[in-house]
Amino acid sequence: MAYTLLIGGARSGKSDLAEQMAARSGKTVVFVATAAAGDDEMAERIRHHRANRPAGWTTVEAPLALAEAVSQQDPEAFLVVDCLTLWVSNLLGAGHADDDVLAAASGLANRLATRPGGAVVVTNEVGTGIVPVNPLARRYRDLLGRVNIATADLAATVRLVVAGRTLDLPGV
């Protein structure tokens, strides 16, 4: 079973849809979270998300070593990877070079594509707004765009999520 990539803007309904897909899978669910509590607001968001997940789900924290975390899970479990957006930000903040981030994203996509249990991956589309004014923000936008492409290339399904509605995006 291959994976689905959900892409859209912030607060568009991607995470809710990912959780619905996991609940409907009928499989053991592992939620692989990439968020790190860098401030009080993010700590509260993480607490809220944890509290709202079904009790039977396992949560794995993987702010940096995402591909490794995916590899360590039961191959038959259904994975929710939420989200690539924070993962790329975490890697940049930890000083990783762009080429290393892209290599990690390719490795992640390959691991996800071969999982028999299936997965859904959440990411933001950050390239549809204005051009950021500073070099780091432009670097982040460009790198996340490239990570999203690498992840979409191996996904069985790519869905654009806007206002809680989805549109399947065809391959090239």
Residue with tokens 């249990």: 117
- Residue 145's CB is within 10 A of a number of other CB atoms, namely 14
- The catalytic position among 49, 53, 96, 146 is 49
Contacts of 83 (CB under 8 A, 6+ apart): 14, 15, 34, 35, 121, 122, 123, 124
CA–CA distance, 46 with 38 (Å, rounded to integer): 11
Q: Is 49 a catalytic residue?
A: yes
Lookup: tokens for 59:
């949560």
Each residue of 91-120: b (16+ CB within 10 Å) or e?
bbeeebebeebbebbbbbbebbbebebbbb
Active-site residue list: 49
